[in-house]
Structure 1
Amino acid sequence: MNARETSTARPGISQILMPYWQTPEKYLALLILAMIISINLGTAYISVEANRIAGKFTDALIGLDWEQIKPLFIFSFVLGLGAMMLRWVNVLSQGYLALRWRTWMTLHYIRRWTGTSAYYQIERDGALSNIDQRIADDVNELVSASLNFFLSIISVIISTVTYTALLWSVSGVLRFSFMGSDWAIPGYMVYALYIEYVLQVALSHWLGKALIRLNMNQQNAEGDFRFLGVQLRENAEQIAFYQGGAREGERLAQRFARVRDNALSVLLRGFKVSFGQSLFSHFLSPLPTLLALPLLLSGEITFGDMTRIQMAYGSLGATLSYFMQAYQSFTRWLALTKRLQDMEEALNKSEQSPSPIRITDHDGSDFSCQNLRLFTPAGRALTALDSWQVSPGERWMINGASGVGKSTLLRACAGLWQHGSGAIARPRRCRTLFLPQKSYLPTGTLKAALCYPGQARDFSDEACRQALIDSALPNMAEQLNDEDRWQQRLSGGEQQRVAIARTLLHRPDFIFLDEATSALDPETEQRIYQALINGLPNSAIISVAHRETLAAFHTHHLHLTPLTGSDNHHDRENQTADDAPRYQRTDSAFSERGLAWRGE
């Protein structure tokens, strides 16, 4: 297996859980962990002392020995108080450690999701569903469950060693005759308890092995149901225009039917596991008493010893039964790890998959494309550019038939499109801004939405007001501090004008507009373009547009035509520069009435 195959292989559980314990935070985390383990050791010691006191207390009660009862009672009370204090310190420490671990993992995944274009690539390729739920909910549940399992296993190990030694010491020796021979089994109750435990584990696994698959299905079904509800909220107006409420209700009901059916399967399977365990435990509950009776009746042990045996047997049995009781939680934990492994794998692929389109930054001032060919994800050829260069202050208009790849070209220039080949060179010191047809307006104050992706504190209120006025939004100039869900409140045309105001505010050197004024009437659209030209005379403007009225606002033209049938994803590397006339036509000459191409 080569390095690339190793790096993109499906991540193991350790790759999900261990990174936190390799950061500088590990020192405090390990200190808290050591304290929790010490508390477990202290609790085990208290349990042994409590067992000893219980035996003496029982004998003192039977013997009506008040002189023994009084100090034993006080000591028992103090032990109980100490155990309670240790338990609450343990809960607080474990909760704090889980919070620190979750905080680190959540921020780690947020950085990986949003720090690169992974969020776009994953959604574009449909590589993963509900990644937001995995970060918000699954990480929290996995951290809490993992820490709880680890500390519980440590506690179980400590308690198992402690109670096994205690039960061995108090259970005595079982003597009996069988097939003419005398037999003696020391610590026989320990053997009996471990045999009982093995049988319980086998029963639990046999009844509950399907829960792993069912729990993972439940997580996926819940996420899909929530996602459809979010879509309904985000597209409420469009759905209302279509009068599609009833249809959306049907879709939600269908998604919830999956949630309900799978939840019922989980419920029934969980009931089988719990009922089987309870029934098994009930039939074997008299076993410690029956096993201790021969020693009691022969006078080898007292009633106090009988009490100690029952307590030790019960404590060891409860300790070992943790694995059966946690079986359903463990299957859910496995489902969570599989979902986060899927997320880790998707993030790894988005980070490590190199794009055939090579993007470089240079010290010059021009934006250029060389031998650029664009394809759909399925490999269908779209269009090609053998050579295209944009200089500061130039204004290019891009058009072509629908589906030829105009928006795809802008995505490639932004570094968001990996399906193709060629080279794109971007000026290192120049700022670039891309305006899609539907711009993103985050919830919050209008000023914060206007200054996005920058900070509101980086721009003055006066500059923001002027940008809104220049973008034909004078009525919003005094609403900078109003908080709202602007994506839902504003119309499509208002959203596009806010995006133009954002451009005027940020003053980029290269502005790419992908039908960014399509929702405006022609008069307002021309006013907006004039505002861009006046406000940013030295900025290059690259527009994907269809209205010929915009031609007067551009100095250059790029017409995209589709690749021919022979130009496909497989033989594109064999194309030569001689093929250029088939792919594109560029010109800088415009007539007063519109655009004209030289040489036609």
Structure 2
Amino acid sequence: MNASETSTTRPGIGQILMPYWQTPEKYLALFILVVIISINLGTAYISVEANRISGKFTDALIGLDWEQIKPLFIFSFILGLSAMMLRWVNVLGQGYLALRWRTWMTLHYILRWTGTSAYYEIERDGALSNIDQRIADDVNELVSASLNFFLSLISVVISTVTYTALLWSVSGVLRFSFMGSDWAISGYMVYALYIEYFLQILLSHWLGKALIKLNMNQQNAEGDFRFLGVQLRENAEQIAFYQGGPREGERLAQRFARVRDNALSVLLRGFKVSFGQSLFSHFLSPLPTLLALPLLLSGEITFGDMTRIQMAYGSLGATLSYFMQAYQSFTRWLALTKRLQDMEEALNKSEQSPSPIRVTEHDGSEFSCQGLRLLTPDGRALTALDDWQVLPSERWMINGASGVGKSTLLRACAGLWHHGSGAITRPRRCRYLFLPQKSYLPTGSLKAALCYPANEQDFTDEQCRQVLIDSELPDMASQLNVEDRWQQRLSGGEQQRVAVARTLLHRPDFLFLDEATSALDPETEQRVYQALVTGLPDSAIISVAHREALAALHTHHLHLTPLAESDSRHESETATGDEAPQPQASDRIFYAS
């Protein structure tokens, strides 16, 4: 399914469950499904035969007929063995089908989540909580529950038809007089059983309808609790410096209190449902015996026939009781579908929402912004650019007051900011790299972290060692194969130098730095920037930085001012000599040749 095929309206349950059954995998999946349904048919046939054999076996025992007992015993043993084997084949087939379905759905959502900038936009806008839990856990539970419900429903339909016919055939006719008239009801036990379980379904729904919302709240509360624990692990050092352990413990306890309170509500509501069902069933448990007793006492049926009636009544009752037994599971299934519907809706919006800031590509060599106006998510104006061009090998330094939109401008250049208007044009066959203040370092080998997002096989060890040395990290050049949690192990300055080394390795045509060296001391920062200038002579470098000493390493300067103050215009200058002049606020844009 691509973006053009999805809808920004809230997706239905079918849009969550059906896509897998429209892929090329559907043929094998349907074959497995047919095998499982055939097994259910075979199991139903075995149950009917077992019922017939049980009646004969009971009569043979009462009559002490050994000649009948022996073959009936052997035949019933074979039937039981066959039923057991079919049951395990059914479990294997159902588990394998669920695994294939889950695999497809998981990879499908991973691709939609990470294939575009949806993962960033959803977190940026706070559109959805715990999407990782929904993909990892909810998809698995939903697939297993959906397959189980569908196959159980097929089995229930088959068993209901089979046992209804069987109970109808063995229950005979109930004859009685009432209000001066003689009455005869054929298959009367079938009517009694259906009335009993219809009343039980109504009772279950009345007692358990609140479980749908409670189960959804439980999933959300569990995800929020786990997320706070992950935050504690990822920011352990910063929290330790603040001595914030006790406060984090309080926050975790508060989050867990939500989990506990909601779980208690689920437990109590589930108890009410189960207790109500059990009490209802207990009072009606003697019903099949009482209904069959008149036929036995009148001599119309034997004791073996009565055993068959009780077994058929019990089998049909067990089949129909599935709806009551599955009620709590069904409410959890509905909660899972609602959570995945929320995820589908968020992904659809991310894929389909057109950005007012148009990002296009052209065959030229310049990177440019035209009529660019940047806003906050709530619509507050930040800054604007009428016309800004960056050519290869130019080095731009962007400055301005805090909150004016410097980092937002870089996000817009990366295609990550959709609040505003205007156009951004990028060269078509160029490589871009954006370095934020804190770069991502994946867990694994140092070489893998250095080569990210490329594969470590794309670069030689010698290349990696050299860029580490050039980035003021000579001691790490011998640790390429060491595996660690580098995001936690390295200091902020070391992480920024690894990001610079990554840049020298990838050699982008356009490099955007958002205070990417702010954690370094001035001398080291100068050397690192000089390494970028020397190592990437043909690359355009666009920097957001505050230290004036870096101005000498840039050839151009862009000064941003708030939109109301600048009237949508900013000054751009070319630096000359060893020291770059600082531009003053102006209502004109001009470029020095």
Alignment TM class, shorter chain as reference: over 0.9
Q: What letter is aligned with 1:180?
A: G
Q: 1:4 to 1:501 in 2, by over 3 A?
A: closer
Deviations 1:396-429 (A, max 9, x none): 0000000000000000000000001110000010
Aligned to 1:360: 360
Q: What letter is aligned with 2:85?
A: M
Aligned to 1:45: 45
Aligned to 1:570: none
Aligned to 1:588: 574
Are the equivalent residues in 2 in contact too, given 1:555–1:588 (CA < 8 A)? Answer: yes
Q: What letter is aligned with 2:120?
A: Y
1:176 aligned counterpart, secondary structure? strand
Aligned to 1:371: 371
Q: 1:38 to 1:73 in 2, by over 3 A?
A: same
Please tell me whether residue 19 in structure 1 is matched to residue 48 in structure 2: no
Q: What letter is aligned with 2:24?
A: P
State the distance in 2 between where 1:330 and 1:113 align.
28
Please tell me whether residue 10 in structure 1 is matched to residue 10 in structure 2: yes
State the distance in 1 between where 2:267 and 2:204 align.
15
Aligned to 1:311: 311
Which residues in structure 2 correspond to 1:501-540 (within 5 Å)? 501-540=501-540
Deviations 1:306-364 (A, max 9, x none): 11000000000000000000000000000000000000000000000000001101111
Please tell me whether residue 156 in structure 1 is matched to residue 156 in structure 2: yes
* Root-mean-square deviation (Å): 1.4
Deviations 1:538-562 (A, max 9, x none): 0110000000000111000000000
Q: What letter is aligned with 2:281?
A: S
1:387 aligned counterpart, secondary structure? strand
For residue 6 of structure 1, report the CA deviation from its aligned partner.
Answer: 8.7
Please tell me whether residue 256 in structure 1 is matched to residue 256 in structure 2: yes
Q: What letter is aligned with 1:319?
A: T
For residue 393 of structure 1, report the CA deviation from its aligned partner.
Answer: 0.4
State the distance in 2 between where 1:593 and 1:31 align.
75
Aligned to 1:482: 482
State the distance in 2 between where 1:6 and 1:57 align.
60
State the distance in 1 between where 2:525 and 2:437 align.
13
2:518 aligned counterpart, secondary structure? coil
Q: 1:94 to 1:379 in 2, by over 3 A?
A: same
Aligned to 1:394: 394
Judge which range, 529-538 or 430-439, deviates more.
529-538
State the distance in 2 between where 1:201 and 1:496 align.
63
Q: What letter is aligned with 1:588?
A: T
2:368 aligned counterpart, secondary structure? strand
Are the equivalent residues in 1 in contact too, given 2:98–2:143 (CA < 8 A)? Answer: yes
Deviations 1:511-556 (A, max 9, x none): 0000000000111101101111111100110000000000111000
State the distance in 2 between where 1:160 and 1:233 align.
53
Are the equivalent residues in 1 in contact too, given 2:559–2:583 (CA < 8 A)? Answer: no
Moved over 4 A (4+): 3-6
Please tell me whether residue 549 in structure 1 is matched to residue 535 in structure 2: no
State the distance in 2 between where 1:559 and 1:241 align.
36
Q: Indicate the percent of aligned positions where both proteins have the same amino acid.
A: 88
Aligned to 2:88: 88
Q: 1:24 to 1:4 in 2, by over 3 A?
A: closer
Q: What letter is aligned with 2:573?
A: D
State the distance in 2 between where 1:5 and 1:88 align.
40
1:59 aligned counterpart, secondary structure? helix
State the distance in 2 between where 1:132 and 1:168 align.
52
Aligned to 1:351: 351
State the distance in 2 between where 1:378 and 1:590 align.
40
Aligned to 1:458: 458
1:564 aligned counterpart, secondary structure? helix
Aligned to 2:591: none
Are the equivalent residues in 2 in contact too, given 1:377–1:419 (CA < 8 A)? Answer: yes
State the distance in 2 between where 1:431 and 1:418 align.
22
User: Which structure 1 residue ranges, 5 or more long, are not aligned?
Assistant: 568-578
Are the equivalent residues in 2 in contact too, given 1:548–1:594 (CA < 8 A)? Answer: no
Are the equivalent residues in 2 in contact too, given 1:58–1:303 (CA < 8 A)? Answer: yes
Aligned to 2:590: none
Q: What letter is aligned with 1:443?
A: T
1:508 aligned counterpart, secondary structure? coil
State the distance in 2 between where 1:551 and 1:186 align.
98
Aligned to 1:333: 333
Which residues in structure 2 correspond to 1:433-472 (within 5 Å)? 433-472=433-472
Are the equivalent residues in 2 in contact too, given 1:590–1:596 (CA < 8 A)? Answer: no
Which residues in structure 2 correspond to 1:396-435 (within 5 Å)? 396-435=396-435
Are the equivalent residues in 2 in contact too, given 1:589–1:597 (CA < 8 A)? Answer: no
Q: 1:525 to 1:480 in 2, by over 3 A?
A: same
Q: What letter is aligned with 1:589?
A: A
State the distance in 2 between where 1:311 and 1:470 align.
83
State the distance in 2 between where 1:84 and 1:388 align.
75
Are the equivalent residues in 1 in contact too, given 2:570–2:585 (CA < 8 A)? Answer: no
Q: 1:536 to 1:5 in 2, by over 3 A?
A: closer
Aligned to 1:497: 497
For residue 596 of structure 1, report the CA deviation from its aligned partner.
Answer: 3.6
For residue 594 of structure 1, report the CA deviation from its aligned partner.
Answer: 3.8
2:546 aligned counterpart, secondary structure? coil
2:541 aligned counterpart, secondary structure? strand
Q: What letter is aligned with 1:211?
A: L
Which residues in structure 2 correspond to 1:236-251 (within 5 Å)? 236-251=236-251
Aligned to 1:597: 583
Deviations 1:368-405 (A, max 9, x none): 10110100001010001111101110000000000000
Aligned to 1:571: none
Q: What letter is aligned with 2:353?
A: S
2:563 aligned counterpart, secondary structure? coil
1:7 aligned counterpart, secondary structure? coil
Q: What letter is aligned with 1:192?
A: A
For residue 365 of structure 1, report the CA deviation from its aligned partner.
Answer: 1.0
Aligned to 2:283: 283
Are the equivalent residues in 1 in contact too, given 2:48–2:166 (CA < 8 A)? Answer: yes
1:595 aligned counterpart, secondary structure? coil
Q: What letter is aligned with 2:185?
A: I
For residue 592 of structure 1, report the CA deviation from its aligned partner.
Answer: 2.7
Judge which range, 5-14 or 426-435, deviates more.
5-14
Aligned to 1:179: 179
Q: 1:42 to 1:536 in 2, by over 3 A?
A: same
Deviations 1:146-171 (A, max 9, x none): 00000000000000000000000000
State the distance in 2 between where 1:328 and 1:593 align.
73
Aligned to 1:35: 35
State the distance in 2 between where 1:288 and 1:543 align.
84
Q: What letter is aligned with 1:178?
A: F
Deviations 1:172-215 (A, max 9, x none): 00000000000000000000000001110011001001000110
Aligned to 1:191: 191
1:439 aligned counterpart, secondary structure? coil
Are the equivalent residues in 2 in contact too, given 1:587–1:598 (CA < 8 A)? Answer: no
Q: 1:480 to 1:6 in 2, by over 3 A?
A: closer
Q: What letter is aligned with 1:74?
A: I
1:393 aligned counterpart, secondary structure? coil
2:564 aligned counterpart, secondary structure? coil
Aligned to 1:57: 57
Q: What letter is aligned with 1:557?
A: H
For residue 591 of structure 1, report the CA deviation from its aligned partner.
Answer: 4.6
